[in-house]
Amino acid sequence: MDTTALEKTVLEIVHALPPGRVVTDPALLASYARDEAEGAPYSVPAAVVRPHGTAEVAAVVSSCAERGVTVVARGAGTGLSGGANAVPGCVVVSFEAMNGILSIDPDERVAVVQPGVINDGLRDACAQRGLWYPPDPASSPWSTIGGNVATNAGGVCCVKYGVTRDYVLALEAVVGRGEVVRLGHRTAKSSAGYELASLMVGSEGTLGLITEITLRLRGARSPERTVLGYFDDLAAAGRAVAAVTASGVVPSALELVDRYCLQAVDEWKNMGLADGGNVLLLARTDAPGTAGAEEADTVLRAFRSAGATSSAQSSDETEAEALFAARRLVYPALERLGSVLTEDVCVPRMRVPDMLGRIERIAGDRGVRIAGLAHAGDGNLHPMVVVARGDEDGRRRGHEALAEIVDEAIVMGGTVTGEHGVGLLKMRGLADELGPAALDLHRRVKHAMDPAGIFNPGKVFAP
């Protein structure tokens, strides 16, 4: 990047926007340099812009496109793949100030929000109107809707209710050299043109900057019933997941937590989770009335037929909520023990037992301990290697193990990411999954929407 062009661009942006929008203080810039991905490269950005509206975003993009200055979008920085990491000579556009819920329509069941809205903030606002926004990533107390859209985030309930893409009806974005476009439709259905709004979902900031999102909502759902089961090992838990799938029941959640994860939470919060067994499966059903009770009974039978050492349907809603809250604490609990190298592969649901077995084998072959956490009901596994800080050999072996897990997922007909995105960490895996022809299509789409090549280059796939 030409230093003079970069300086001119930053000065132009400073003069074009109201005071306080542009950050150039090196001490502050460092806090915008990276997301939560361990091992992903990053740089300190040349500047950070905190726009308050679409027109300001368009002005930034126009100035950057004119001189070829890279633009990196940032939500809350909770990503786990390096997708929001700053690159040398870039301008980071942080959407923290564009955090308004613009409207919630109870009749149409639609919300219109800015990208900086926190996921749980939207869910709470919807609940006050008897509505529900389902996508619930583990980072929902902190992550933004814009970041969720950028990575097509999922969460606990996506096994039954789908991921972020299933709820994006329309959006506004700044693309190309600063053009503002509206994509998608507010209506329940449309056959007009290509589905470009869906194309933006999961694009990780490589096609443009999303400035407004129209979301589909659901009505409040029936109370959930929680079923839990402990198992001696991952193989038995995997068989239970397959048995639930084969039963025809679609649970509203089906989560797997292994002993390593349970102990990490116990050491932090003293909850006694590991006392019950080596692997915990948490399931929920939310069908109304007697259908919900029948579904819970079916899940319980599936657990027992697969060899659960103990299993029960929870009759205490407070206890059930505590169990799912503990599941959300796993990642920060592991972070207390060392650096966490995390993966996010997804395989066909009936292959979950095979994949869990392969992960155990890989851990033994590489001499690492892999913590097991999974949205098991939809085949989305989150194997994590905890490495003592400063143990570079352990880090190397951990990355080798996770790379092998990605390869195994592809062989099984799976995908390299279920919800975290590709970012910087999974570009090799994505290339292997797509193949040369499909990868070339991706490059051509990017060039059409980003002719100046400024939107998050070097992420997701190489030029």
Check: CATH 3.30.465.10 for 101-219? Answer: yes
Model confidence, pTM? 0.95
What's the CA gap between 136 and 120, in Å, rounded?
A: 8
What's the CA gap between 361 and 367, in Å, rounded?
A: 10
Residue in 379, 350, 160, 345 with CA at minimum distance from that of residue 242: 350
The owner of tokens 């003592």 is 388
How is domain 3-96 classified at the CATH fold level?
Answer: 3.30.43
DSSP state at residue 222:
P
pLDDT tens figures, 73-106: 999 999 999 999 999 999 999 999 999 999 999 9
> Hey, what are 366's tokens?
């590489």
Average pLDDT value for the chain: 95
Mean pLDDT value of segment 25-33: 96
Q: What is the structure's pLDDT at 188?
A: 87
The CA-based angle 83-85-89, given to 5 degrees, is 125
All residues at 6 or more sequence positions from 439 whose CB lies less than 8 Å from its CB, including other chains = 430, 431, 461
pLDDT tens figures, 102-148: 999 999 999 999 999 999 999 999 999 999 999 999 999 999 999 99
Residue 426: strand, helix, or coil: coil
What's the CA gap between 23 and 93, in Å, rounded?
A: 10
Q: Distance of alpha carbon 85 from its chain centroid, rounded? A: 15
Matching fold, domains 101-219 and 223-328: no
Residue in 255, 269, 262, 248 with CA at minimum distance from that of residue 224: 255
All residues at 6 or more sequence positions from 206 whose CB lies less than 8 Å from its CB, including other chains = 446, 450, 455, 456, 457, 459, 460
Amino acid present at 244: V
pLDDT tens figures, 188-197: 899 999 999 9
- Domain definitions of the chain by residue range: 3-96, 101-219, 223-328
pLDDT tens figures, 147-160: 999 999 999 999 99
Q: What is the structure's pLDDT at 1?
A: 57
What burial letters (b/e) apply to 61-77, b meaning 16+ CB within 10 Å? bbbbbbbebbbbbbbbb
What's the CA gap between 336 and 333, in Å, rounded?
A: 5
| CATH number for the segment(s) 223-328 | 3.30.70.2190
Give kind and range of the element (H or E) at residue 73.
Answer: strand 71-74
- Order of strands across the sheet that contains 373-375: 310-313, 225-231, 279-285, 253-258, 373-375, 380-381, 345-346
